[in-house]
Copies of this chain bind each other. A is one copy, B any other.
């Protein structure tokens, strides 16, 4: 549900928020005048300030210099630009490192991290926490009533791992709270293995480097602890800000491709989910990968619209080759975020820096200034966006959900499995991409989410499953839901302990089969599979390839969909289908090649009555957002020029043209069309 402060925020910003990070302290004041002028020219509605301003605001411990920020906030307000004010905790100043070295992060190998970059603090340090809260309070008290203040931006891209003594001690407390007794910890961690039984809490430590691999249950708890520790930092600042300025929403910017934070847990702690989006324009899978993350962001926020707080206007600078966004692609990518639920399109950063590590990261206003293609595209977008104001607040509805579970991520990549080069993130994308290509709306959930609203659930390699989750899954199927689950699922419980009784202990009844043995394939090899008779998921005679892994699978009532025609598992099942009342569970005992996987998935969607948002040519991404009175159809052309036949009457928000159902609209390459219709 939208929080009150976010309702107020929407009302105030009055449209999709356009803006970016603004670091005026890097420039003399005469540049500030130009900044405000050009911001207005480009139509910026809000800027984020202060993210890395701690040493500018507090050059020495307890010595504050905030006049310059007063000036900035006033000027922005005078220019009609709202302020997303950051608490600058991501980069504590040099004085803290010097005077309180224990407030600095210690790496896995026990070395204290030096200053000169960012994110170098210890999240358990009392000094760090005290000084960062003091700073947050200063800012809240000074600017809480300022009319420019629209939002709080706490910290920056939380993603730390600290192995200092303070964190070590805190890990012990966390474990004591979780397990109560050392015997319980011993039992749950399985410390009987390799003589790891603890006889006293004092013996329990963070997983510092060992010979070989550490106990995976200990590693898993550390990952949970670490996400909690950082979330705890955020919560303290949020609570303080809520207390002083209850009307101002508080958020922090989530981060792409970072496994450290369980965003499903974080999502409910922010007033609005915000995301830094950096797809790599040099990668072929950039748009699908981006879409998956956008669906995640929308989902962890409970389906609420979310904000893009950062994206690149052009190239970034941290990769080996930093490919630019081709003409039109920044605009296309921006609308893609809106198509999947974003109500803000913001950039890192407003004006490209002259100094430091990120000076070659693109900006709305690049070093080459207003003559640049970047500026032209950015300012055109800024002038265009107000036409889409009615989209704000509209939500997406999905019949399909995919499971992305951090506990599982940490566990399945933890230690010593049959296939140790397994990537959960890549696997998620493999499972998601055909859904994206078919323009099927997808939510991103865990098995602890309320699943009743979905018709199809895709579960990639859910190695770890709790008893509650298994029950939920059974109820989902009994309730008529359809599941697609891939191999190496249901193997361990929440303590990374094998669920006994034959693989997959947690899902044997659900899939209607058991697995005798996991048979990984060697790299670059594959095995032939073919559809069998009597099933309805694959066309008769269909054949394909199996990759990476074979389950030695024994059906216990499930219909065999496809079998191996090669290898020592010849004639054994590769894919199963267990019908159960109106529901069903399709089990993949291998990684199917893309075409085969897509075929199975399509059939399952048909069975469940799930249709694409719209039939559209390959390369056209289609989504729908639904507001209180209108609905919005987004057409995004990632490919060559093409056209799409509409299924409804409506008005194109960007052109103002009226369209009728059955009418065909042309889409240029990188073209975008947003059709607003009555609901």
Question: Which A residues lie at the B interface, using CB under 8 A?
Answer: 23, 25-26, 52-56, 59-60, 63, 88, 90-95, 97-98, 105, 109-111, 113-120, 189-200, 202-205, 207-218, 282, 314-315, 317-324, 326-327, 352-361, 366-369, 371-374, 415-421, 495-498, 500, 502-503, 505, 514-523, 552, 554, 568
Centre residue among A53, A193, A421 by max chain B CB count within 10 A = A193
CA distance A559 to B204 in the complex (A): 69
Determine chain A's interface SS by DSSP, over half rule: loop
A249 to B: closest C-beta gap in Å: 24
Q: Which residue of B lies closest to A110 (CB)?
A: B111
| The one of B113, B212, B369, B523 that contacts A502, using a Cβ cutoff of 8 Å | B369
Q: Which residues of B contact A120 (CB under 8 A)?
A: 210-211
Q: Can you name 13 A-B pairs with beta carbons within 8 Å? A: A55-B196, A63-B199, A91-B195, A94-B196, A94-B198, A115-B210, A116-B210, A315-B418, A317-B420, A353-B498, A367-B505, A368-B502, A371-B514
Q: Which residue of B lies closest to A319 (CB)?
A: B420
Q: Which residues of B contact A497 (CB under 8 A)?
A: 354-355
Q: Which residues of B contact A517 (CB under 8 A)?
A: 314-315, 324, 366, 368, 372-374
Contact assessment for B369 and A218 in the assembled complex, using a CB-CB cutoff below 8 Å:
no
CB contact under 8 A between A214 and B321, given known A94-B197, A327-B568, A355-B497 = no
Contact assessment for A216 and B419 in the assembled complex, using a CB-CB cutoff below 8 Å:
no
A420 to B: closest C-beta gap in Å: 5
Contact assessment for A368 and B498 in the assembled complex, using a CB-CB cutoff below 8 Å:
no
14 more CB-based (< 8 A) A-B contacts, given A314-B517, A373-B517? A55-B195, A94-B204, A109-B111, A113-B211, A116-B214, A118-B212, A190-B355, A215-B357, A315-B418, A321-B523, A323-B521, A354-B497, A360-B518, A366-B517
A513 to B: closest C-beta gap in Å: 12
Contact assessment for B315 and A518 in the assembled complex, using a CB-CB cutoff below 8 Å:
yes
CA distance A291 to B245 in the complex (A): 69
CA distance A103 to B503 in the complex (A): 41
A325 to B: closest C-beta gap in Å: 10
CA distance A105 to B211 in the complex (A): 9
CA distance A97 to B200 in the complex (A): 12
Contact assessment for A197 and B93 in the assembled complex, using a CB-CB cutoff below 8 Å:
yes
Number of this chain's copies in the assembly equals: 3
CA distance A417 to B355 in the complex (A): 12
Contact assessment for B498 and A354 in the assembled complex, using a CB-CB cutoff below 8 Å:
yes
Q: Which residues of B contact A322 (CB under 8 A)?
A: 418-420, 520
CA distance A371 to B503 in the complex (A): 11
CB contact under 8 A between A321 and B371, given known A91-B196, A207-B116, A326-B568 = no
CA distance A371 to B368 in the complex (A): 68
Contact assessment for A520 and B315 in the assembled complex, using a CB-CB cutoff below 8 Å:
yes
Contact assessment for B321 and A522 in the assembled complex, using a CB-CB cutoff below 8 Å:
yes
Q: Which residues of B contact A502 (CB under 8 A)?
A: 367-369, 371
CB contact under 8 A between A519 and B324, given known A116-B210, A194-B52, A500-B367 = yes
Q: Which residue of B lies closest to A26 (CB)?
A: B192
CA distance A186 to B22 in the complex (A): 20
Contact assessment for A357 and B213 in the assembled complex, using a CB-CB cutoff below 8 Å:
yes
| The one of B23, B209, B417, B500 that contacts A360, using a Cβ cutoff of 8 Å | B417
| The one of B54, B98, B218, B319 that contacts A195, using a Cβ cutoff of 8 Å | B54
| The one of B192, B515, B519, B520 that contacts A25, using a Cβ cutoff of 8 Å | B192
- Kindly list the 8 A-B residue pairs having the minimum CB-CB distance in the complex, ordered from nearest: A190-B355, A193-B356, A91-B195, A55-B197, A94-B203, A117-B210, A114-B208, A116-B214
